[in-house]
Every structure is written in structure tokens, then in C-alpha cells.
Amino acid sequence: MSFATAPIFDQLELSEINRTIILDIDGTLVPDGEEDCSEKTRAKVMNLMKNNNVVLFSNSKNTERGKKMANALGISFLSADKNKPNPAVIMATGRRVGDCTVIGDKFLTDYLLAVFSGARFVPVRRIYSGRESFKIKIIYLVDDFFNFLSRLVGIG
């Protein structure tokens, strides 16, 4: 499973029906820390909403931004006591894990959430603003390295 060769979110071709989709924010819908989705991204979310229950979830401490974004998109913001990749995030949807799909740009959070809980996973290629902080760049580097390692040993 490679994030590098996956499409970015607004170019995903999905045929998900009647599922709960746990949608990541940073790097997936918007570049890290931003809050305004592009028109294409908004349209893709609307498209997913036709046949699915779409919820936003982020490990970011800034839950106000997440709630605001969810509001603007007309979907709900999932609150959970734990962070990704803890399967408690999936439990918080109230849906059976077999009915859940996780969409995201990170190996250590999004992908492992799906692996640990047994949900379906759809990788997206990360989107960048070019203004990412040093801390975020390091986090991305570490994440990409683990994704690389997992592919090397054939578990990703």
C-alpha cells in the first residue's frame, strides 16, 4: 500500500455505498493546519455523502477548526476519547467496523487505525501548502519512512 502513488482526495474514484467514512483532515482535505477546502474537494465530499455517512476526524488538538470544517461541509465531526490509530475511534462512530472505511494520508495514524480495527482503508496522496512547519515536515518524514519500511518487509 503506497501513499505516494495514490490519487489525491479529490481525484479518488470510490464506489463506497452505505458505509461510514472516517475522513482525515490535514494532508487529505486541506494542507496541514488549513481550513478552507477547495471546490473540488468539497464536491468530492458531497459526492461521497450521497451514498454514505461521512464524518470528519482528526488527531489535531484544534477541534474547533475540525467542527467548523464539518459544519461548512454539512457533515458531523466525530469526537472520541482516543486518537488514531486507537480502534476506539472506529467504535465512536457507533457502526460495525465492517461498515467503516478510513480515508487518509498517513501510515502511522490512518492506515494503522484501519489495520488495528479491521476497517477498510483508502490511501490518499498528501497535499501540501509549502508552508508546513519544521515539526510537521519531520512528522511527515517519519511517517513516510515507516510506510517505506512496511512495503519493504511486505506488511503495508
Query: Applying CB under 5 A, which residues contact Mg ion?
Result: 24, 26-27, 105-106
In terms of CB distance, is 100 or 132 closer to Mg ion? 132
Whole-number minimum distance, CB 126 to Mg ion, in Å?
Answer: 7
In terms of CB distance, is 27 or 156 closer to Mg ion? 27
Whole-number minimum distance, CB 23 to Mg ion, in Å?
Answer: 10
In terms of CB distance, is 42 or 51 closer to Mg ion? 42
Name residues whose C-beta falls within 8 Å of residue 153's C-beta, 6 or more positions apart in sequence. Answer: none
In terms of CB distance, is 96 or 131 closer to Mg ion? 131
Q: Using the structure block, give the residue that is written with the C-alpha cell 511527515.
A: 140
The residue with its CB nearest to Mg ion is 27
Whole-number minimum distance, CB 85 to Mg ion, in Å?
Answer: 12
Whole-number minimum distance, CB 28 to Mg ion, in Å?
Answer: 5
